[in-house]
């Protein structure tokens, strides 16, 4: 059956809590496709949106999603889900549809159990506000408009990892709609193997419509209000060697817990290349100033330190959430910081900017987290909870003719940072790339065999991608 026939079938089943958009010229249809990146963005045959205004409509939307998936599977109609609009894998051609969860959302905090239940398309900023208001926090990304559920499912790398681990480790339970269109609970008691899969690979096993996530008192950050210190230190490229020397010590300092980004960027207003350090420090302003004094001693072009809290954690990065243009984001796990590899990125980044006009907002970033000292749930399908160093590449450009050229610079930078690492030890963050071999994304033969076995059990036809089959 084609999409028109499928839509006709659904029209007879839809509750008032849902609607279908099929006209590409319709303003709401177009607005629904305004995503973080236009790279590989396709126009679907339909967009099914939920309208959540009351608890009853929330329940109706969940039941409607079950019916929609059931019909799609029965009629072999492909589909993808979308919440925050950041994923490059939530796009599909006109033979399929998008299940848009952006209006189907709910947050329910339980202070007695230190958990929060997140449903549908809740975004990071919405979760941060809700938790901060009640004196709680959890792992979050560095983007206010990132969807909470997909972020947790894929691993959930976080600046708060030194305190409470990664996102997937803090998933207590999940509710998902399977390929059989059943609503299934995954907990430690019911379907525990599915819960394990959800903690790092949940997107391949069903439509996860609800997560129960562990939360923590703000005091775990180090003070009753959960305040932390953000810094910015900007240097000339010719200072990079000295900055690398200092950063090698700061990132491994066992006395001062921190996380942050060591970047090569083009700084406004003239978009000239600089080296920038943006740390997040869990302590007082005085302690932060002392911990990063070695950076100040190098004579940065500019430096700043400010106090932030959990609610405003990512506000300073809102410009990175701008919609449109062409962007790709990849993350590569590393065993440590190798200054020689990082230094060679300066030339690669410079050539990217000179070769591809309009790519000046592209950045190469080494991300670090102090090792987490707390008890953690490390038996996850994600399997990379012990990786404290990541190389992040954002390529951001305006000319579609540059797709292949920009991709080559992305690959060259990742290859440089992997120099000296054996291929068997390569790590790719699953949330950023499905192009790399699956052995790079899910480490260890035993983990992969378990995931493949569970995939055959829960999604043998590959309704939720053919990954792991």
Determine how many CB atoms are found less than 10 A away from the CB of residue 469.
Answer: 12
Which residue is associated with the tokens 């991608």? 465
- pTM of this structure: 0.94
pLDDT at residue 440, rounded to an integer: 96
pLDDT at residue 65, rounded to an integer: 81
Residues in CB range of 191: below 8 A, 6 or more apart: 184, 185
Q: Which of 422, 12, 453, 427 is nearest to 194 (CA)?
A: 453
For 323, phi then psi, to 5°, come to -85, 155
Question: Chain-centre distance of CA 70, in angstroms?
Answer: 28
pLDDT at residue 59, rounded to an integer: 57
pLDDT tens-digit readout, 110-134: 999 999 999 999 999 999 999 999 9
Q: Across the beta sheet with 427-428, what order do the strands follow?
A: 302-308, 228-235, 272-281, 258-267, 363-369, 389-397, 326-334, 427-428
Q: Six-digit token pair at 91?
A: 């796009």
pLDDT tens-digit readout, 342-383: 999 999 999 999 999 999 999 999 999 999 878 887 789 999
Q: Which of 148, 153, 101 is nearest to 123 (CA)?
A: 148
pLDDT category of residue 9 using cuts at 50, 70 and 90: confident
Q: Six-digit token pair at 170?
A: 């803090």
Residues in CB range of 448: below 8 A, 6 or more apart: 438, 439, 442, 468
Q: Which of 248, 423, 411 is nearest to 336 (CA)?
A: 248
pLDDT at 54 over 70: no
pLDDT tens-digit readout, 193-248: 999 999 999 999 999 999 999 999 999 999 999 999 999 999 999 999 999 999 99
């Amino acid at each position: 059956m084609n999409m028109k026939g499928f839509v006709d079938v659904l029209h007879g089943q839809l509750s008032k809590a849902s609607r279908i958009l099929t006209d590409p010229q319709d303003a709401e249809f177009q607005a629904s496709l305004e995503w973080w990146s236009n790279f590989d963005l396709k126009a679907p045959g339909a967009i099914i949106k939920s309208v959540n205004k009351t608890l009853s409509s929330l329940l109706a939307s969940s039941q409607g999603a079950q019916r929609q998936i059931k019909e799609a599977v029965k009629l072999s109609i492909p589909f993808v889900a979308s919440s925050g609009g950041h994923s490059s894998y939530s796009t599909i051609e006109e033979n399929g549809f998008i299940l848009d969860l952006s209006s189907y959302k709910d947050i329910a905090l339980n202070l007695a159990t230190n958990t929060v239940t997140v449903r549908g398309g809740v975004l990071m900023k919405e979760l941060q506000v809700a938790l901060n208001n009640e004196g709680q926090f959890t792992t979050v990304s560095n983007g206010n408009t990132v969807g909470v559920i997909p972020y947790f499912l894929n691993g959930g790398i976080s600046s708060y990892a030194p305190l409470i681990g990664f996102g997937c480790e803090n998933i207590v339970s999940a509710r998902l709609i399977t390929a059989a269109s059943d609503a299934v609970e995954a907990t430690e008691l019911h379907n525990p193997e599915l819960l394990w899969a959800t903690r790092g690979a949940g997107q391949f096993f069903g439509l996860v419509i609800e997560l129960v996530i562990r939360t923590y008192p703000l005091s775990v950050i180090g003070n009753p209000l959960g305040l932390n210190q953000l810094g910015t230190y900007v240097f000339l490229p010719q200072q990079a060697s000295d900055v690398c020397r200092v950063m090698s010590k700061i990132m491994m300092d066992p006395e001062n817990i921190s996380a942050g980004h060591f970047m090569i960027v083009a700084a406004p207003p003239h978009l000239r290349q600089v080296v920038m350090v943006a740390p997040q420090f869990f302590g007082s302003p005085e302690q932060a100033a002392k911990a990063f004094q070695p950076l100040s001693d190098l004579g940065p072009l500019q430096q700043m330190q400010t106090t932030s809290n959990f609610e405003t954690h990512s506000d300073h990065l809102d410009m990175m959430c701008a919609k449109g243009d062409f962007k790709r984001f990849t993350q590569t796990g590393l065993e440590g910081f190798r200054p020689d590899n990082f230094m060679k990125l300066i030339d690669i980044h410079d050539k990217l900017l000179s070769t591809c006009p309009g790519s000046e907002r592209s950045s190469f970033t080494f991300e670090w987290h102090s090792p987490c000292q707390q008890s953690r749930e490390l038996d996850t399908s994600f399997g990379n909870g012990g990786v404290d160093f990541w190389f992040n590449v954002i390529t951001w450009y305006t000319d579609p003719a540059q797709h292949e050229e920009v991709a080559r610079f992305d690959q060259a930078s990742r290859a440089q940072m992997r120099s000296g690492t054996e291929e068997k030890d390569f790590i790719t963050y699953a949330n950023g790339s499905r192009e790399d071999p699956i052995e790079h994304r899910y480490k260890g033969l035993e983990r992969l065999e378990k995931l493949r076995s569970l995939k055959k059990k829960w999604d043998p036809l590959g309704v939720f991608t053919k990954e792991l089959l």
